[in-house]
Structure 1
Amino acid sequence: MNNLRRMIHYLGIYKFDAVLGILIVAIETSIELFIPVLMARIIDEGIAHADIPLILHQGALMLACAVTSLALGFFYARFASSASVGLGANLRQAEYEKIQRYAFGNLDHYQTSSLVTRMTTDITVIQNAMANGFRPCVRGPMMLIMSLVYAFSLNRDLAMVFVCILPVLAVALGVITWRVSPLYQRLQTSMDHVNRVVQENLTAVRAVKAYVREPQQCDVFGSVNSELAQGATKTFGTAQFNLPVFQAAIYTAATLVLWVGGQMICANTLTVGELTGFMSYVLQVMNSLMMISNVFLLLTRALTSVERVGEILDEEPLIASPATARALTAVPDGSVSFRDVTFKYRAEAEEDVLEGISFDIASGSTVGILGSTGAGKSSLVQLIARLYDATAGEVLVGGHDVREYDLAVLRDAVGVVLQKNVLFTGTVRDNLRWGNAKATDEELLEACRLACVDEFLDRIGGLDGDPGQGGAGVSGGQKQRLCIARALLKRPRILIFDDSTSAVDMATEAKIRANLASIPGVTCIIIAQRITSVMDADEIIVLDDGHLHARGTHAELLETDAIYQEIYASQVGHADKATPDDSLRGGEAHA
């Protein structure tokens, strides 16, 4: 019932079309079921008594019924198509909007390929079920009930044939539906696997070709494609069992009616016209049962897709803005504080990614974060923009807990250049305006200057240049600089660089740092692998295995912290010989 209510809800403005479609099918079915009554009268009264006017009159009524049914069929097609396409569009839009509201934690529950399948294949299955099952879903039960009523009104004894056959058909349909229902779920999962392989292969096509892995990738796709083909064969093969079962029932019912009816005609308890009309109802009843069986199978598959789509629509975002009345609508400054913060990505995870983190960052300062791979650097900064929520403790921005801010306000004040840089389809101007949709060309060019994009902007066609799908037309360093320019256009209070200059040469990186330092009042947090990227920072935080290991200036850490000394020695090569003042001068030279 929940799934039915969901479908009715998402019909939206197309509910009127659906209701009209139901009424039209009901009228059409009633008219068609009246035709055998007219035919029986033609045979028993018109032909038997050579009553030509009666034959012509009844024939004209039959023709009128047929033409009316045809016209109603055209109207039904229009309303059913409108309702099914509208339902599909509304579900697709609702699902996409819900995914946009998901937090990172919600998205971690699903593979990207599964989300794509749920928004495409599953919606198409629901839409097709609505388009193809709408008419038989209404027509089948109506035809069954009314045909049985007419059949019993013609001859009650002969109609007992149905009483014997219907229970057998009901059991057969129940067994087939019970058997095929879980197969549809596996079929959609197989479709997820196919989409996953295609997505991974196309996303990493350069790596595939660089490693000459085309044959192996073809084998991988062949495996999931065979899984899908075998699953589809088994599923649809099982579903098609209903066809021979119902055909056998139709032929058995027809044979029994003719045999019993023939004996009744010989006994003068039944007329030829009544038998002819009754045979029409036999076919009507069996056809209605065939429709109902097909609808059951169609709905069984559609319900699987409805449940998969419903999982997306029913899941509540793990992170949401507080109630409007209590949400802060402005970030006072760029200060950041961590108060005994602990974090893990999943509640069931055995170990914390971050544990007991506490520190303060003054507004307008520059802070570097160093640590080995897996130390928790990226996880730490993602808590600032509330991309994830801390498991315990508090993260404060501008002196307030991040959970007190309206999400849009908080994230608008925090510019994040993530480790994985993403450019979208469109021109350079289109991509930069993600930072500020109303930015003028002068503002765009100024951001490009600060991020050193101006060094190559003309070579890619200026602001109207196309960096290619996903930034395929630019280098890794150029893509990073474009993403930095995009973040600068937000004019954030806090600017976070998550190893976002790793592909930029050291001279250009130093130039970008100098340009950023000229922007007043912006708190800059830099995650880097190169020690030269953070050695000029006001403070450097060293993370080790999810714990805050040390903090201080470059000179202080170089004197007191073994991990920092080791990083410096491995990258700069003279930590043992350098004094704090010398190391600072060396850092400037390397910068």
Structure 2
Amino acid sequence: MLRLVRYLKDYKVESVLAPLFKFLEAAFELLVPLVIAKIIDIGIGNKDSDYIIKMGILLVTLAVIGLTSAIVAQYFSAKAATGFGTKLRDDLFAHILKFSHAETDILGRETLVTRITNDSDQVQNGVNRFFRLVLRSPFIVAGAFIMSFNIDAKMSLIAFVVILILSIIVALIMSKSIGLYRNVQRKLDKVLGKTGENLTGIRVIRAFSKEKSEISEYDTATEDLYKDQVRVGNISALLNPLTYVVVNLGIVAILQAGGIQVNIGNLTTGQVVALINYMSQILVELVKFANLIILLAKASACAKRINEIFDIKSSIKGGNSELVLNDFEGDIITFENVGFAYPKSKEEAISDITFSVRKGETIGIIGGTGSGKSSLINLIPRFYDISRGSIKIAGRDIKEYTLESIRKNVALVEQKSRLFRGNIRNNLLWGDESATDEELYKAADIAQATDVINSKEGKLDSEVAMYGNNFSGGQKQRLSIARSLVKRAGILILDDSSSALDYATDSRLRKAIREIGNITTLIVSQRIVSIKSADRIIVLDDGKIVGIGTHEELLENNPIYKEIYSSQIMTEED
């Protein structure tokens, strides 16, 4: 938790005032039993109505001041805690966005979502409760003990024994619950992961009628989480009954011993009532403090999980040079004996890759499923780092450039088109926030997406649902390509991004892209028709290059390319 205190630096005043006003509230609360004792001993004992009214007004005044202090303390603690939580989540999200694909692959989406949401909320709640109770509860417990000591030293020993026993109970419960709370959070990760997996693949599940088996697996995961939650809940639930039993036994002891002292004249009735009130205050505050400790234990476990994310640094570090492609001539991309393996994988996904791409050239990349096509193109914008060899852009090692300048000059359209909730204009402006409507429509014309935009009533302002679910697969692909073209990057990578398009639309798209000029294009596809007119075609098989050349050259000399062509020729003729 201490490592996260830095997020309170902008809330120093609130962090001081919140516990201070709670402290003030507690101070006035400790005076109440003394006032009640005087009302009983003096006002009621002497039948002095004026004194009772005067002291009654004092009680109301103490209550009003205490309530005002509590409201002010709640305001400052809520302001500091929510500000803390907001800054924490923002920083955590920004930190996660710096991860390479390697880190996100290892960690998994579900645990990252849990730590940004649930874990952050638990820590924020802990900070809020900490400000409200960190001074109040210990002060009232200590103050009530001192007040009872001033009334009668012997009677205060009962309060001391009660405090000691309750402290032992709290320590035991806390020691048992901290580890269990960590297990609960880990199992919550699994449940969220299963939830996300099922919601993402809901169509596949229904297509294969696997609802029952998926429900069974989900029930098993939630049952496992439920058992741990019940277990830690049962341990935490022991706190209240045990504390109430101990404190009520203490009150019984005070009543018995106090009654004897009243009979022999050592104590007054009001003093005994005051002692009981102080014991009740100790009870309430110890229960609050014990719950605070348990909450802080939970928050501490969540803070540790958040810090684990902060401790992970991206394996990809950018250089200091800025990549500029406008005035460069020659080989714009060069792979030299490149090998790459995914995290925790012993085998390389691609091996001994060597080729170069000249500026303005269109390169086709083809191969069977699992041949390494997507792995290869993901290395160009440095989503992953290579295991060996070197990649050069504009004649310099890719690691010498800043990540921002590399990705500014590389436009990538992935296999799975991703649109974000908002409207069409906002999605296209991801390419260039300053682009005009004219530039957006120009990019849409090239991407064959103008009809998609014009078919909507709101045109560029038409709504885009989450994941772009109100568009077809082909429409999403064309809008994704338009978004990349708005970027006006020097390198355009199309990773099987026209698979949902018909041949005619695909043909018009490729022709329009070739006419852009001053752009280097890499087209990854499993359809020969999509790359047939490329300047050169790279054929991949089992992670290795098995052929480079034009369509005619490969058809004549490369058996793998010829085999792919033969399997698709009937479709092309059709």
Give the alignment's TM-score, normalised by structure 1: 0.89
Q: What letter matches 2:289 in structure 1? A: I
Amino acid at match of 2:514: A
Q: Distance in 1 between matches of 2:75 and 2:199?
A: 39
Cα shift at 1:426: 2.6
Query: Are 2:387 and 1:403 equivalent residues in the alignment?
Result: no
> Mean Cα displacement is larger for which, 70-79 or 193-202?
193-202
Match of 1:182 in 2: 179
Distance of 1:450 and 1:590 partners within structure 2: 26
Equivalent in the alignment of 1:299:
296
The Cα offsets for residues 284-322 of structure 1, whole Å up to 9 and x where unpaired, read as 222221121111111122222222233333332332433
> Amino acid of the residue matched to residue 126 of structure 2?
A
**What's the counterpart of residue 366 of structure 1?**
362
1:110 Cα deviation after fit: 2.7
Higher mean alpha-carbon deviation, 40-49 vs 429-438, is at: 40-49
- 1:473 to 1:280, Cα distance in 2 relative to 1, 3 A: closer
How far 1:126 moved relative to its partner? 2.7
Match of 1:4 among 2, 5, 24: 2
Q: 2:340 aligns with which of 301, 321, 343?
A: 343
Match for residue 518 of structure 1? 515
Structure 1 contact 329–405 (Cα < 8 Å) conserved: yes
Counterpart of 1:541 in structure 2 is: 538
Residue matched to 2:146: 149
Equivalent residue in structure 1 for 2:193, among 169, 193, 196? 196
The offset of 1:421, in angstroms, is 1.1
Confirm or deny that 1:384 pairs with 2:380: yes
Q: Distance in 2 between matches of 1:266 and 1:329?
A: 93
Distance 1:562 1:75, change over 3 A: same
- Contact 1:183 1:235 (C-alpha < 8 Å) held by counterparts: yes
SS of the aligned residue for 2:134 comes to: helix
SS at match of 2:107: coil
**Contact 1:180-1:238 at 8 Å conserved across structures:** yes
For 1:258-305, what per-residue CA distance to the aligned partner results, in whole angstroms no more than 9, with x for missing partners? Answer: 223333344444343332322222222222211211111111222222
- Which runs of 5 or more structure 2 residues have no equivalent in the other structure? none
Consecutive aligned runs of 4 or more in structure 1 exceeding 6 Å deviation: none
Matched, 1:327 2:318: no
> How far has the Cα of 1:58 moved from its partner?
4.1
Residue identity in the other structure for 2:404: A
How many angstroms does 1:358 deviate by?
Answer: 2.1
Which residue type is aligned with residue 382 of structure 2?
R
Shift in Å at residue 45 of structure 1?
4.8
Superposed counterparts of 1:5-20, under 5 Å: 5-6=3-4, 8-20=5-17
Q: How far apart, CA to CA, are the structure 1 residues paired with 2:358 and 2:573?
A: 27
Quote the residue 1:459 is aligned against: 455
Which amino acid in the other structure matches residue 78 of structure 1? Answer: Y
1:97-116 correspondence to structure 2 within 5 Å: 97-116=94-113
Pair 488,590 (structure 1): closer, same or farther in 2 beyond 3 Å: farther
Measure the CA separation in 2 of the matches of 1:36 and 1:463.
70
Gaps of at least 5 residues in structure 1 are: 574-586
| Whole-angstrom CA distance in 1 between matches of 2:466 and 2:48 | 78
**Per-residue deviation, residues 496-552 of structure 1 (Å, max 9, x unmatched):** 111112222223222222211112121111111112222322222222222233322
Superposed, which structure 2 residues align to 1:546-557 within 5 Å?
A: 546-557=543-554
Question: Do the aligned residues in 2 keep the contact of 1:133 with 1:298 (CA within 8 Å)?
Answer: no
Q: Distance in 1 between matches of 2:42 and 2:452?
A: 94
Q: Distance in 2 between matches of 1:385 and 1:50?
A: 89
Aligned CA distance change for structure 1 residues 5 and 309 (closer, same or farther; 3 Å): closer
Label 1:257 to 1:476 Cα distance change in 2 as closer, same or farther (>3 A). same
Q: Matched residue of 1:335: which SS?
A: strand
Q: Which secondary structure does the structure 2 equivalent of 1:341 belong to? A: strand
Q: If the length of structure 2 is used for normalisation, what is the TM-score?
A: 0.92
Q: Residues 46, 477 of structure 1: CA spacing in aligned structure 2 closer, same or farther, 3 A cutoff? A: closer
Does the 8 Å CA contact 1:457/1:463 hold for their aligned counterparts? yes
User: How much has 1:225 moved relative to structure 2?
Assistant: 3.9
Specify whether residues 271 and 474 from structure 1 end up closer, same or farther in structure 2 by C-alpha distance, changes over 3 A only.
Answer: closer
**Preserved CA contact (<8 Å) 2:19 2:133:** no
Q: What is the distance in 2 between the residues matched to 1:154 and 1:281?
A: 11
Of 362-371 and 423-432, more deviation after overlay is shown by 423-432
C-alpha distance 320-539 of structure 1, shift in aligned 2 (>3 A) = same
Offset of 1:417 from its aligned partner? 0.8
SS at match of 1:120: helix
Q: Which amino acid aligns with 1:368?
A: G
What's the CA shift string for 1:92-129, capped at 9, x where partnerless?
22222222222212211333233222222223323333
Task: Look up the match of 2:163.
Answer: 166
- 2:371 is equivalent to residue 375 of structure 1: yes
1:51 Cα shift?
A: 5.9
Is 1:256 the counterpart of 2:253? The answer is yes
Structure 1 counterpart of 2:322, one-letter code: L
Which amino acid in structure 2 is aligned with residue 533 of structure 1?
Answer: S
Q: Is the 8 A contact 1:339 1:395 kept in 2?
A: yes
Per-residue deviation at 1:137?
Answer: 2.8
Which amino acid in the other structure matches residue 340 of structure 1? N
Q: Output the CA distance in 2 between the equivalents of 1:500 and 1:399.
A: 28
**Does the residue aligned with 1:143 lie in a helix, a strand or coil?**
helix
Q: Is the 8 A contact 1:532 1:590 kept in 2?
A: no
The structural deviation recorded for 1:36 is: 2.3
State which of 87, 91, 94 in structure 2 corresponds to 1:94.
91
Cα distance in 2 for residues equivalent to 1:53 and 1:465: 75
Could you give the per-residue CA deviations for residues 408-463 of structure 1, whole angstroms, max 9, x where no partner exists? 21111111111111111233222222112222222222212212223544334443
Deviation string, structure 1 residues 456-498 (Cα, Å, up to 9, x no partner): 4433444334454323233322222221121111111111111
SS at 1:526 equivalent: strand
Question: One-letter code of the match for 1:454?
Answer: T
Which residue of structure 1 lines up, in the alignment, with residue 422 of structure 2? 426
Aligned to 2:175, what secondary structure does the other structure show? helix
Tell whether 2:503 aligns with 1:506: yes
Cα deviation code 1:204-247 (max 9, x no counterpart): 33334444444554444444444444433332222110011101
Say yes or no: does 1:486 pair with 2:480: no
Q: Aligned partners of 1:473 and 1:31: how far apart in 2?
A: 61
**Shift, 1:24, TM fit:** 0.4
1:521 counterpart SS class: coil
Alignment of 1:64-143 (within 5 A): 64-143=61-140
1:23 aligned onto 2:20: yes
Q: Distance in 2 between matches of 1:590 and 1:91?
A: 59
Find the aligned partners of 2:91 and 2:189 in 1 and give their Cα distance: 20
The CA distance in 1 between the partners of 2:78 and 2:297, in whole Å, is 21
Q: CA deviation at 1:56?
A: 4.9
Q: Residue in 2 aligned with 1:354?
A: 350
Q: Quote how far apart the aligned CAs of 1:47 are.
A: 4.7
Distance (Å, rounded) in 2 between the aligned partners of 1:147 and 1:224: 47
**SS of alignment partner, residue 392 of structure 2:** strand
Structure 1 residue 336: Cα displacement: 0.2
Q: CA 1:442–1:64 in 2, change beyond 3 Å: closer, same or farther?
A: closer
Whether the 8 Å contact between 2:19 and 2:134 is mirrored in structure 1 is no
Query: How far off is 1:29 after superposition?
Result: 0.7
Q: Give yes or no for contact 2:170–2:290 (8 Å, CA) kept in 1.
A: yes
8 Å contact from structure 1 (residues 94, 313) kept in 2: no
Letter in 1 for 2:416: K
> Is the 2:162–2:247 Cα contact (8 Å) retained in structure 1?
no
Find the aligned partners of 2:193 and 2:429 in 1 and give their Cα distance.
31
